[in-house]
Structure 1
Amino acid sequence: MKKRILVIMGHPGTQSFCASLADAYVQGATDAGHAVQRIDVRDLVFDPILHEGYRQIQALEPDLLAAQQALKEADHLVFIYPTWWGGMPALLKGFFDRVLLPGFAFKYRANSVWWDKYLTGKSAHVLTTMDTPPWYFRLFYRNPGNNQMRRTILEFCGIRPVRITCIGRVHSAPASWTARWLDKAAAFGRRA
């Protein structure tokens, strides 16, 4: 079944292995006939700081309004970013803070601890690179960034299932290793 896929690349740099992974994923998904849109968060013009929390919603910049529309239209979401200090880069976190707003992604119920999830019916795949071996990140650090992404961001808004692929140890990886991961990213896109 062909899907509408939104790829969100969250590495703030212009040259990165994450960008190459995103290129490979998009190519694989396009080759399989999926409709693919890509957002590179670094290219968006927006203030990533949520100045007043959710007490006062900041007006959304045009790039964030377009991102919300793309999120609404997508069947499958793909997030590609590096894990730094156990979590996502600040720019990507700022993107989530500003885009996944009450009334768009979720809504708290009056006089309740429960909330309504507005992004149901979508699936997600996270590809995150790291310099820590994934087994060490899982066993010793307990997957802090992955738990945040899966449980407190995506599933909180109703997106499920959420698949997470940790790619590490990137820092000292030989070219043959990175080439295999690019092939895997293209295969993920074809099978989305």
Structure 2
Amino acid sequence: MDGAGRAMDEDRALLERLRSGPARGDAMAQILERHAERTYAFFRARVGDPEIAAELNQELYLALLDSLRSFRGECSLETWLFRLARWRLAKLRRRWSVHTDESAPRPLEAVAERVPVPGLEPDERAARSERIRRLRDCLARLPEIERAVVVAHYYEGQTLDEVTRRLGLTNPSGARAVLLAAQRHLRACLHRKERAGRCAKRRRTG
């Protein structure tokens, strides 16, 4: 039997112990040791924020417990976990998409006009329209959930508590943590763009 086959057999044995009751805690600990790092990386790559990724990862293994009856062993445990992970993410994205659809009557230019970026001094040499264009581009590059929080809070005027509930965020700090991460990303992105703009101007005038 090859390594993949042995791993599947070991996973099946762990699932049987998970179903049986007395050894559930130990079985879940071993499942987490075998799979949690990869499923966390899956969420981290897609939502950007480590706190939200960790919360989604925790919820994934609770969902695994709830889905034990429907898991018949027709695929590997890893395949089943990633299927559950994609389902959970798709469910959340349906909520987030309400705030990130650029075809809706709230183009990123309008959002950019309302977004403050703490810790970043205005560049007096850059026209306001150019600064808004840069911020719009940076908003478009944000992870999906961060952009959804920025739009809901700054453009739609929702409080952070309202954003947390509406977007289904279950991480301890809710939308506040996501907003802080978005501000860091926007600040760094704008610094890069403004530095590149100054370099380009020097080349033109040099």
Task: Flag the structure with higher helix content.
Answer: 2
Q: TM-score range by the shorter chain?
A: under 0.3
Task: Compare relative contact order (CA 8 Å, sep 6+) and give the higher one, 1 or 2.
Answer: 1
Task: Flag the structure with higher strand content.
Answer: 1
Report the TM-score when normalising by structure 2. Answer: 0.21
Which is greater in Rg?
2
